[in-house]
A and B are shown apart, each in its own frame.
Chain A
Amino acid sequence: MKKGLLTIFGLLIIMSMLLSACAKTEQPVGPEGAKPFDGVTINVMMEGVPDTEYVQAQLSKFEEETGATVNIEVLNYALMHEKLVPQLTAAAGSGSYDLIVVDNYWVAEFNRAGWLMPLDDKIAASDKVKMDAYLPSMLEMVGTYEGKTYMLPFYNYAMALVYRNDLFTDPTIQAEYKDKFGKDIALPTSIPEYIELSKFMTRDINGDGETDIYGASMQGLRPDPTAMEFLNYLYSMGGQLYDLDGKVILTQEVGVAALDAYVDNMKSSAPPGAPSYGFDEAFATVAQGKAFSYITYNWMVPVLDNPEQSQVVDKMKVTAVPGGIGLLGGWGWAIPNSSANPDAAWAFIEWVESFDIAKERALLGGAPTRADVFQDPDVLAKYPHYKDVEKIVGDSIMFPMQSRAPQIVEVLGRVISETIAGSMTSEAAIQELITESNNLADK
Chain B
Amino acid sequence: MAKSTFFNSLPTRDRKAAKGLVAPAVIGIWVVILFPLLYALYVSVHDWILSQGEIGRLNFSNYITVLQDPLLLNAAKNTVILTASVVILEISIGFGLALLLNNKCIRLRNLYLFILLIPMLMPPITVGLIWRLLLHPDLGIINYALSLVGLPQPIWLADPTLAMITIIIVDVWHETSFIILVLLAGLTSLPDELYEAAMIDGANAWQKFRFVTIPLLAPTILVATIIRMIAALKTYDLVYILTRGGPGIATETISYYIYKVFFVFLDMGKSSAMAFILLGIIVLMTLVLMRVMRRVEQ
Contact = CB atoms under 8 A, between A and B. Distances in A.
Interface of A: 81-82, 85, 89, 109-110, 112-114, 220-223, 271-278, 280-281, 284-285, 288, 290, 403-404, 406-407, 410, 413-414, 417-418, 420-424
A403 B247 CA distance: 27
B42 interface: no
Contacts of B266: 85, 109
B249 A423 contact: yes
A85 B137 CA distance: 36
7 contacts: A110-B51, A222-B243, A278-B132, A284-B136, A290-B138, A418-B249, A421-B246
Interface in B136-162: 136-139, 155-158, 160
A113 B155 CA distance: 42
Interface stretch (B205-213, B225-233, B257-265): B257-265
Nearest to A287: B139
Contact of A423 (B155, B248, B263, B264): B248
A280 B246 contact: no
Contacts of A222: 243-246
Interface in B22-66: 50-53
Contacts of A277: 158
B158 A273 contact: yes
A307 B248 CA distance: 36
Nearest to A284: B139
B155 A276 contact: yes
Interface residues of B, number: 28
B250 interface: yes
Contact of B247 (A280, A284, A417): A417
A345 B245 CA distance: 39
Interface of B: 50-53, 132, 136-139, 155-158, 160, 163, 243-250, 260, 263-266
Given A82-B263, A407-B265, A421-B250, A272 B160 contact: no
A220 B247 contact: yes
| A-B complex: 7 closest residue pairs judged by Cβ atoms | A273-B137, A421-B248, A276-B157, A276-B158, A418-B248, A421-B247, A113-B51
Contact of A112 (B52, B137, B139, B247): B52
B246 A410 contact: no
Most buried by B among A112, A221, A290: A221
A422 B250 CA distance: 11
A92 to B, nearest CB: 15
Most buried by A among B136, B243, B247, B260: B247
B263 A417 contact: no
A113 B50 CA distance: 8
B247 A113 contact: no
